Amino acid sequence: MDHYVGIGELCVARAPSTIVTRGLGSCVGVVLHDINRSVGGLAHIMLPSSTDFTSYTNPHKFADLAIPAMHEQLLQLGGRNFKARIAGGAKMFATVSERAGFDVGVRNVERVRQVLRQLGIAIVNEDVGGSVGRTVTFEVSTGSVKVRSVGRGEQVL
């Protein structure tokens, strides 16, 4: 069964299934996987922190809310020990006009690492930064995470 995760969405599933998210730029795709219990999830995170906003419509676009929410849903699916793989967080435009200190890709990756650390989940592999867009395909049964980029082909995390 194939699941597609839109921008600012997340999805959890049991094996056998494939979860895909397309077109990660500064956004970060976070995969959590419990290989022994064959459950996994993928979140497409847009922004580091919900606390930067006074109001918002969708909590799952923020690293600080989406990852704990996905973790909780995976626990309910029967998962216990998770490993993380992350991809994205690129700087798509080489621009001089970027406000100092604001590179949303870098901030997204930093916040994702912090939230995973707080949950005690190790990142076993990653493909972050650079200036390329990425599409992520996650196979729940094996834990394989394929990252496809324009002009750079595919790599497996």
Residue among 36, 51, 99, 153 that touches other proteins (CB under 8 A): 99
Number of residues that bind other proteins (CB under 8 A): 36
11 is catalytic: no
Residue among 2, 36, 51, 95 that touches other proteins (CB under 8 A): 95
Residue among 53, 80, 118, 154 that touches other proteins (CB under 8 A): 53
- 73, 14 Cβ separation under 8 angstroms: no
Nearest to 63 by CA among 10, 12, 23: 10
User: Would you tell me how many other CB atoms lie within 10 Å of the CB of residue 4?
Assistant: 13
Q: Which is nearer to other proteins, 62 or 82 (CB)?
A: 62
* Paired residues of 41 in beta bridges: 12, 32
Site membership for other proteins, residue 52 (CB under 8 A) = yes
Q: Determine how β-strand 39-45 pairs with β-strand 10-14.
A: antiparallel
Q: Determine how β-strand 83-88 pairs with β-strand 134-139.
A: unpaired
Q: How many helices (H) and strands (E) does the chain have?
A: 2, 10
Region binding other proteins by CB under 8 A among candidate stretches 10-18, 68-76, 93-101, 111-119: 93-101
CA distance 127 to 28: 10
Least separation in angstroms between CB 155 and other proteins:
16
Q: Which is nearer to other proteins, 36 or 96 (CB)?
A: 96
Residue among 5, 10, 13, 24 that touches other proteins (CB under 8 A): 24
Q: Which is nearer to other proteins, 74 or 132 (CB)?
A: 132
- The residues annotated as belonging to the active site are 27
